[in-house]
């Protein structure tokens, strides 16, 4: 709050704590390059980067992020290159923007940021006015280039009449900004349908059929998530959960051990690898996938397990009943496994146990109220899956 005017604003600040004196060395290095010069004046309420000696912490004030150096450049309006790509995407017409509105949607410090661009545009010849929206995703390094390749392939598939699903049209990737431009995908998530108390079984079945097509499609991936990669990820999850919840350490260790012991190398397929109910949008007969940054060749059952684990955890986060969620999960599982090879069903209990623990990590990382109890509930869910009491 500004005391003189009473004006308020929300401000994201990220703090990174380091061992020994590394934080101070990083802060001194950052100060030497004058980070304030990179940040638009409208965002200079505070110093972009500070050092807190007692905590060995470097504090960064959004939109400054040493891992995302181009983020401040795109926070108030598009760069000339970005603006050029946007108008080229609009097609015929002598367009120019009368108003730009940039809204940060999601921010993961040191990893990526998503911005919603809303433009009021006018054709200089006809005087016609429109409002257009698109997303700009800023990445650390060149990760966005791989995602752009995936989106281009999936978009071409959908344009050619491919069944099941589509994606928001990729507009362009700007390597100088490490930024991906993508058309907005309209629609409602399954999570929103559940919260609106609307019938979800039909929607869950539609999603299941589309996912079965996606997992068996021939879209090429630039990355592969192997058995060893999955084991490494599960061990990281186990270590973090055991540190956060020492009273559950023995049980978590047993679950991780059982999952790792049961994993086998299987034929891989296109896999989203971060398929939560928020990453699927339904609009009429149209179904769109979003957030494909983790797309890879992997065991496709990982997608079904991840989706089910996040769906089953919804009553721990939102005012939705366990019974409603169970109806949706049963409908999804029944439909999905009727459209994929029979052997896939046998791998679900194992992958679901791992996915439940991965979902549990989110409660700790977000520091949600009663996170320890919620983690315990998902640890029980993982144990029940391994014991054959769920699937």
pLDDT, one tens digit per residue, over 341-370 is 999 999 999 999 999 999 999 999 888 899
Identify whether residues 137 and 42 lie together within a single domain. no
Mind listing the pLDDT tens digit for each residue in 182-221?
Answer: 999 889 998 888 888 777 899 999 999 999 999 998 888 8
Going through 187-311 in order, the beta strands assigned E by DSSP cover 269-271, 280-283, 286-289, 296-298
Cα separation, 129 vs 96, in Å, equals 10
Residue 228 confidence (pLDDT):
97
Identify whether residues 338 and 199 lie together within a single domain. yes
Identify whether residues 138 and 229 lie together within a single domain. no
Identify whether residues 76 and 199 lie together within a single domain. no
- Please give the radius of gyration of the chain, using alpha carbons only, rounded to the nearest integer: 23
Structural domain of 21: 13-66
- Of 10-19, 261-270, 350-359, where does mean pLDDT reach its minimum? 10-19
Mind listing the pLDDT tens digit for each residue in 232-261?
Answer: 999 999 999 999 999 999 999 999 999 999
Residue 292 confidence (pLDDT):
94
Identify whether residues 220 and 254 lie together within a single domain. yes
Percent of the chain topping pLDDT 70: 98
Residue 345: inside a domain, yes or no? yes
Residue 3: inside a domain, yes or no? no
pLDDT band at 37 (very low <50, low <70, confident <90, very high): low
Cα separation, 85 vs 183, in Å, equals 12
Check whether 380 has a pLDDT greater than 90.
yes
Residue 306: inside a domain, yes or no? yes
Residue 6: inside a domain, yes or no? no
Residue 113: inside a domain, yes or no? yes
Q: What is the pTM of this model?
A: 0.88
User: Both tokens of residue 252?
Assistant: 């978590």
Identify whether residues 262 and 364 lie together within a single domain. yes
Residue 7: inside a domain, yes or no? no
Cα separation, 336 vs 112, in Å, equals 32
Identify whether residues 273 and 367 lie together within a single domain. yes
Neighbour-count burial for 239-267, b at 16+ CB within 10 Å, e otherwise: ebbbebbeebeebbeebbebbbeebeeee
Over residues 158-178, mean pLDDT = 88
User: Both tokens of residue 156?
Assistant: 């071409």
Cα separation, 224 vs 366, in Å, equals 28
Identify whether residues 141 and 209 lie together within a single domain. no
Overall domain count for the chain: 3
Residue 1: inside a domain, yes or no? no
Over residues 95-108, mean pLDDT = 91
Cα separation, 251 vs 29, in Å, equals 44
Identify whether residues 177 and 76 lie together within a single domain. yes
Task: Determine which helix (DSSP H) or strand (DSSP E) holds 230, and give its type and residue range.
Answer: helix 227-244
Identify whether residues 173 and 215 lie together within a single domain. no
Residue that terminates a domain, selected from 138, 163, 183: 183
Mind listing the pLDDT tens digit for each residue in 61-74?
Answer: 999 998 999 999 89
Q: Do the Cβ atoms of 227 and 265 come closer than 8 Å?
A: yes
Cα separation, 209 vs 214, in Å, equals 9
Helices (H), 33-142: 80-90
pLDDT band at 389 (very low <50, low <70, confident <90, very high): very high
Cα separation, 120 vs 98, in Å, equals 6
Identify whether residues 241 and 323 lie together within a single domain. yes
Identify whether residues 60 and 76 lie together within a single domain. no
């Amino acid at each position: 709050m500004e005391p003189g005017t009473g004006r308020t604003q929300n401000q994201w600040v990220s703090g990174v704590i380091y061992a020994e004196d590394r934080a101070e060395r990083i802060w001194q290095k950052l100060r030497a390059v004058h980070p304030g010069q990179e940040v638009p004046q409208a965002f200079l309420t505070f110093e972009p980067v500070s050092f807190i000696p007692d905590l060995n912490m470097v504090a960064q004030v959004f939109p400054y992020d040493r891992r995302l150096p181009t983020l401040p450049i795109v926070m108030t309006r598009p760069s000339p290159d970005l603006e050029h790509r946007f108008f080229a995407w609009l097609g015929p017409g002598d367009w120019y923007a009368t108003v730009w509105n940039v809204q940060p949607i999601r921010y993961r410090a040191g990893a990526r940021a998503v911005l919603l661009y809303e433009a009021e545009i006018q054709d200089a010849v006809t005087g016609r006015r429109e409002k257009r929206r698109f997303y700009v995703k800023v990445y650390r390094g060149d990760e966005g280039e791989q995602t752009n390749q995936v989106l281009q392939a999936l978009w071409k598939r959908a344009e050619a009449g491919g069944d099941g699903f589509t994606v928001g049209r990729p507009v362009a990737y700007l390597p100088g900004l490490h930024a991906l431009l993508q058309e907005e995908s309209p629609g409602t998530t399954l999570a929103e349908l559940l919260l609106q108390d609307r019938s979800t079984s039909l929607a869950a079945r539609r999603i299941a059929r589309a996912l079965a097509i996606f997992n068996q499609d021939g879209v090429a991936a630039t990355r592969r998530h192997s058995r060893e990669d999955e084991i490494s990820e599960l061990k990281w999850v186990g270590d973090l959960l055991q540190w956060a919840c020492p009273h559950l350490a023995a049980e978590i260790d047993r679950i991780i051990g059982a999952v790792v012991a049961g994993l086998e190398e299987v034929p891989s397929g296109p896999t989203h690898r971060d398929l939560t109910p928020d990453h699927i949008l339904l609009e009429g007969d149209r179904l769109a996938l979003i957030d494909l940054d983790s797309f890879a060749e992997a065991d496709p059952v990982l997608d079904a397990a991840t989706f089910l684990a996040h769906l089953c955890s919804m009553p721990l986060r939102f005012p939705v009943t366990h019974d409603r969620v169970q109806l949706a999960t049963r409908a999804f599982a029944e439909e999905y496994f009727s459209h994929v090879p029979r052997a896939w069903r046998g791998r679900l209990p194992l992958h679901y146990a791992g996915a439940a623990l991965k979902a549990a990590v989110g409660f700790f990382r977000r520091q949600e109220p009663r996170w320890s109890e919620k983690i315990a509930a998902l640890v029980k869910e993982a144990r029940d899956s391994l014991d054959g009491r769920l699937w």
